[in-house]
Structure 1
């Protein structure tokens, strides 16, 4: 027995609408689950039903993160361990008007061996400048340091220039 043409058309429409309603309901349920799901990883029920991706995610979630290791810092230099000496790199005097002087601070160290992994910021004060003390800093790592040149003016050509440590601070590595 065959259905009349009109009945076949109605049956197709009903089937299409019914499939659409089922799909719409499935999307609504999936959307609701996606919104209400928290960010905590779900436990994989069984390796037999889990995909390779699920197994990899579960393995990544259960591996403990490595503990942060910080090496024990080496010895801390003391101000008395450092000897700072001004090295005159250029000097131009103007009779009784004083001199224009460029210096670099040379560093001597007589303390315990410093670690190459630790860096220290050394603050110092230069005395003898006509305008007053000059404060500067340099970084000390192991036995290495980098020092910029300092320019100053003195009152007379016989003015003594001296440098002393005022502070030493560790720089986090």
Structure 2
């Protein structure tokens, strides 16, 4: 007698395992594509009417643009520099003076222009009033002609006023 052939189950089992692996891989791939990169935060709870009334919105404060530092006479040093001098004995001297400006204060904005008005003393006819403009760390100064009574006359310069021009 011949033995009946046993059916082999391993090809069926292998096919079932392959199908399960394929299904699992498909599910994992789908989750990887559709899942967000960041973990989701739990949903916020709705506030009660009382909680909503208690919340005070924080006002948004816009910073106020501030102008640069203010120029003051205390920060300026004006020094007369004699660039030309011709004396005529007892008749006095004709002197060409240029005013040198020294500044000791906070850095001035290059966007601000200041008009500095000053007084020159030493001229035989009395004080001379003149001005120059200062922008940032730059200024232009013209020469001033002074006639002195003697060759020993001291020439001095002082700031009388400062105004912001722009």
TM-score bracket, shorter-length normalisation: 0.5 to 0.7
Of 151, 158, 171, the residue aligned with 2:145 is 151
- Determine the C-alpha separation between the residues in 2 that align with 1:93 and 1:123: 28
Determine the structure 2 residue equivalent to 1:32.
Answer: none
> Does the residue aligned with 1:96 lie in a helix, a strand or coil?
helix
Structure of larger gyration radius? 2
Structural RMSD (CA): 1.2
Number of positions where the alignment pairs a residue of Structure 1 with one of Structure 2: 103
Determine the structure 2 residue equivalent to 1:118.
Answer: 112
Query: What stretches of structure 1 of length at least 5 have no aligned partner?
Result: 1-69
Determine the structure 2 residue equivalent to 1:88.
Answer: 82
Which portions of structure 1, spanning 4 or more consecutive aligned residues, are displaced by more than 3 angstroms? none
TM-score, with length taken from structure 2: 0.60
- Determine the C-alpha separation between the residues in 2 that align with 1:141 and 1:153: 31
Q: What aligned pairs does 1:33-48 form with structure 2 within 5 A after superposition?
A: none
Task: Decide which structure has greater helix share.
Answer: 1
Determine the structure 1 residue equivalent to 2:93.
Answer: 99
- Determine the C-alpha separation between the residues in 2 that align with 1:136 and 1:71: 33
Deviation at 1:72, TM superposition (A): 2.8
TM-score, with length taken from structure 1: 0.58
Determine the structure 1 residue equivalent to 2:160.
Answer: 166
Determine the structure 2 residue equivalent to 1:75.
Answer: 69
Query: What stretches of structure 2 of length at least 5 have no aligned partner?
Result: 1-63
